[in-house]
Amino acid sequence: MSALKGSLCLLLLCLSVSSLELTGQSTNAARLGSDSRIPCLITVDKPPVDLNHLTIFWHFLNKEILSYNKAVRTNSSRYSLSTEQLLTGVADLTISNIRISDGGRYKCSVIYNSERREKRLWLDVGDPPQVTITDKTVVVNEVSVLRCSATGFFPIDIEVKWFRGSERLSDVIVDQPQKNPDRTYNVNSTVTITPTEEDREQNFSCRVRHFYLRDPLQVDFQLIYMDRSSAGIIAACSVSVVIVLIIIIAGVLWWKLKPRMKVIGPFIVGDITGPPKLIDGEEAVLYCTLDNAPEDLCVTWLMRRDGQDKEIQTSQMREHSEEEESLLDTSYVIRSQRLKCQYSSSLSFIPHMERHRDVTFICRGVSGKRTDEKTFHCWIIYVKPKLSKSLTRSRVGPGEIKYLLNLENFNPKNIKTVWTCGVETKGEVVSSTESISENPDRTYNVSSEIIIPEDRHKDPGFRVRVTWYHESIEEPESRELFISGKPQMSAPIEITIADKSCVRFSLNLQKFYPEDINISWYREDQSGKCGLSAVEPISARDDDLTYQVTSVVLISKYLFRDPEMKIIVEWKHERMETPETRSLSVRDLPWRPRIGSISVPNLEDGKSATLTCEISGYFPDLLSVFWLSKKDGNMTDLPIKSSNADVNYKVSNKEKKQTDNTYSCVSSVTFTPVVSLYQGSEIICRVEHPSEEHPIERSTGPLHIREEKLS
């Protein structure tokens, strides 16, 4: 069991160094037009963050939008990242002038030393409505209409209610929301009332609920009353003005349209318009306009596949119950509106390769016995290439390095990859080998590779970049690999027990290039600094072209008697500006003494008793145990000699080596308690070890000694 505990301690010590973590609120909300930050906080085991070992990628909808590797690179000036805050671990993405299209899934990817972590985050984008009362003029005891407008809101879902005081009004109509050019919405709501004299002092309210309103937005107002004669005069004047305007407008229109005037015929379905490309996973909207639309016109959308037509029904088309919800296709949204003799309808959906390839959408109008329709055929569903895994690098032969890129599940087949390599940005195009294969779902995969002589990688700043072009992406995407060459510590220096007399210190360095590296160990104490002989280092070459090395030194346990003694390791490499060092002392040893409570038997006046204390888990075996007596604030070291032989103290320490090479000790003190001398006093066990800066003590607390009853 002791061996298992020791192994677990060592395992936990090793695991504790792998502490790269990403945190941040998973769901975030932003207002249209504002500047918003999506949080990504980096936590490392030894802050501050070393920017030389840090790489950051931000993706939006699986597309890289920003990266950091000693400098920020982005595909839009709207994206930014504060390099000043990176030292404290703040890698937030800032987006300026938020748009509706910015809403969706983001991914923060961080590579630090040899560790990689990712965090997925979501950004909801929207804007609350502005609410105004646009009509509140009424005539007493006559049917009147009140109007409330909610404008500039997103998303579309909104609730409008009317109140007279605390009474909720019925006869409420909420119009179909109208879309603005910036993709926000406006909606009007009316309520019909018959106002009385009592309503003059009454408050009326239009109350609006929306996702971007923390609380409902309520506009209170009082009615504006007009008497019947005034209303009649205004109405008459309004009618006269309207008639005059109609005559003027009709005359202008007749004059302008006279050469083109035709007799109004049957309704006509116009061609369906849609995006130039249907991209898998990105929303598409089809528009259809019908002219000369009669009142009884019925417009439907259908989907034709393999010669069969199926009507598309969604919850946007009509009122429905919860039971009907399961019958509707929620993956489509239909919005329709009529403007005089013109009827417009749109179909929104998310294209998918398997579902929509070779599908024909139909906009069909029916009036009486007449039917007319137009079609929109999905010839191609464009699917963006997916990077199956990171760009890889491996050795393929003596002095040759292969770089490989795998892209999967794209459509159509045509794709182009361009490889460049060189120092920093001065790259030259390298010829590549490509292999394209087709998947069962009729998408495609491509493998593209190049081979470069290993000697070229010795130049500092040498990097390889691959860029791919495809019809499904607006801007080409790229990845690159380079070798910083600077050695990286895979973990803190490992400390283990080599044998009963030595401590083993092990340093592992990775990801350096070229192979040559110098590692030196030193011992430093009051007498100065002297070199240590290390075990022959073990080096290895990794598949990614870099090297790693493990250097080990053995230190005698007796050297740790001096708590100020330090073990120092230093390494130098040509890609490092200055050498790096690490320093350790006995305080860094993981085997600190664990001390149990003092075992106290029942104490009786004049009868010998033994107190014991167990100490375990320490190394090296440089433990000191002292027993003390404390009474009235005075401390006395034990054992002590007394003229009374019955009260002499005897101290015993029994040390034992455990199976995990640590040590344990059972320390005891034997004495004869006397009520008159020791009632209420304390016995203290004090432990000292080089790994502990201060002694550790355990106390019995005040002793209770039972007196022998006289018969």
What confidence score (pLDDT) does residue 100 get?
Answer: 86
pLDDT of 240 above 70: no
- The least confident of 298-312, 416-430, 580-594, 637-651 is 637-651
Q: Under a CB-based contact definition with an 8 Å cutoff, are residues 143 and 192 in contact?
A: yes
pLDDT of 689 above 80: yes
What single string gives the DSSP state of each residue in 460-509? Answer: TTEEEEEEEE-TT-SS-EEEEEE-----EESSSPEEEEEETTEEEEEEEE
Nearest alpha-carbon partner for 25 in 124, 118, 121, 106 = 121
CB atoms within 10 A of CB 145: 14
Phi-psi region of 370 (alpha: psi -120 to 50; beta: other; left: phi over 0): beta
Pairing of strands 137-139, 224-226: parallel
pLDDT of 578 above 60: yes
What confidence score (pLDDT) does residue 13 get?
Answer: 38
What confidence score (pLDDT) does residue 398 get?
Answer: 80
pLDDT of 616 above 80: yes
**HSE value, Cβ hemisphere, 13 Å, CA-based, for 474:** 9
pLDDT of 645 above 80: no
Give per-residue burial for 575-585: e unless 16+ CB within 10 Å, then b: eeeeeeeeebb
Q: Kindly compute the dihedral angle of the four CA atoms of residues 568, 569, 573, 578, in this order, to the nearest 10 degrees.
A: -20
Phi-psi region of 358 (alpha: psi -120 to 50; beta: other; left: phi over 0): left
Q: Could you tell me which residue, 189 or 115, shows the higher pLDDT?
A: 189
- The least confident of 10-19, 196-205, 565-574, 613-622 is 10-19
Tell me the mean pLDDT in the region 649-669: 91
Per-residue pLDDT tens over the stretch 252-286: 554 444 443 343 578 999 999 888 889 998 888 89
Per-residue pLDDT tens over the stretch 408-421: 999 998 899 999 88
pLDDT of 515 above 70: yes
Give dist(CA 519, CA 549) in Å, integer.
10
Structure tokens at 88: 């404290």
What single string gives the DSSP state of each residue in 120-188? Answer: EEEEEEEBPPEEEEEE-EEETTS-EEEEEEEEEEBSS--EEEEEETTEEP-SEEEPPPEE-TTS-EEEE
Q: Under a CB-based contact definition with an 8 Å cutoff, are residues 36 and 28 in contact?
A: yes
Structure tokens at 499: 């044998």
Structure tokens at 307: 């010669």
What confidence score (pLDDT) does residue 246 get?
Answer: 59
Structure tokens at 121: 């985050």
Q: Under a CB-based contact definition with an 8 Å cutoff, are residues 602 and 706 in contact?
A: yes
Nearest alpha-carbon partner for 543 in 404, 431, 408, 419 = 404
Phi, psi of 5 (to 5 degrees): -60, -40
Phi, psi of 102 (to 5 degrees): -80, -10
Residue ranges of the alpha helices (H) in 320-384?
322-325, 353-356
Structure tokens at 707: 């007196």
Greatest mean pLDDT range, 105-109, 243-247, 543-547, 632-636: 105-109
What confidence score (pLDDT) does residue 325 get?
Answer: 36
What single string gives the DSSP state of each residue in 585-640? Answer: EGGG-S---EE-PPB---EETTS-EEEEEEEEEESSS--EEEEEEEETTEEEEES-
**HSE value, Cβ hemisphere, 13 Å, CA-based, for 83:** 12
Residues contacting 260, CB < 8 A, separation 6+: none
Strand partners, 433: 449
What confidence score (pLDDT) does residue 612 get?
Answer: 96
Omega of the bond leading into 476 within 30 degrees of 0 (cis):
no
What confidence score (pLDDT) does residue 599 get?
Answer: 94
Phi, psi of 306 (to 5 degrees): 50, 40
**Integer distance in angstroms from the first to the last C-alpha of the chain?**
51
Q: What is the DSSP letter of 663?
A: E
Give dist(CA 444, CA 214) in Å, integer.
47
Give dist(CA 564, CA 561) in Å, integer.
9
Give dist(CA 709, CA 380) in Å, integer.
105
- The least confident of 95-99, 330-334, 674-678 is 330-334
Give dist(CA 409, CA 660) in Å, integer.
54
The CA R_g of the chain, rounded to the nearest whole Å, is: 41
pLDDT of 333 above 90: no
Q: Under a CB-based contact definition with an 8 Å cutoff, are residues 663 and 621 in contact?
A: yes
Residue 123, amino acid: L
pLDDT of 568 above 90: yes
Residues contacting 243, CB < 8 A, separation 6+: none
Give dist(CA 332, CA 349) in Å, integer.
5
Pairing of strands 705-706, 603-604: parallel
What confidence score (pLDDT) does residue 670 get?
Answer: 92
CA distances from 401 to 23, 393, 504, 510, 514 (A): 37, 7, 37, 19, 14
Q: Could you give the percent of the chain with pLDDT greater than 90? A: 41
Structure tokens at 659: 């199976």
pLDDT confidence of 647, banded at 50, 70, 90?
low
Residues contacting 60, CB < 8 A, separation 6+: 102, 104, 105, 106, 107
pLDDT confidence of 553, banded at 50, 70, 90?
very high
Tell me the mean pLDDT in the region 339-367: 89
Greatest mean pLDDT range, 108-122, 358-372, 626-640: 358-372
What confidence score (pLDDT) does residue 641 get?
Answer: 53
Per-residue pLDDT tens over the stretch 146-203: 999 999 998 888 999 999 999 999 889 999 888 887 788 999 999 999 999 889 889 9
3-state secondary structure of 532: strand
Per-residue pLDDT tens over the stretch 37-89: 999 999 998 888 989 889 999 998 778 899 998 899 998 889 999 999 999 99
Q: State the residue for tokens 């009316």.
A: 190
Long-range contact set of residues 631-635: C-beta below 8 Å, sequence gap at least 24: 631/678, 631/680, 631/681, 631/682, 635/684
Q: Where does residue 446 rank: exposed (0-12), middle (13-18), buried (19+ CB within 10 A)?
A: buried
What confidence score (pLDDT) does residue 247 get?
Answer: 62
Q: Could you tell me which residue, 658 or 240, shows the higher pLDDT?
A: 658
Residue 85, amino acid: Q
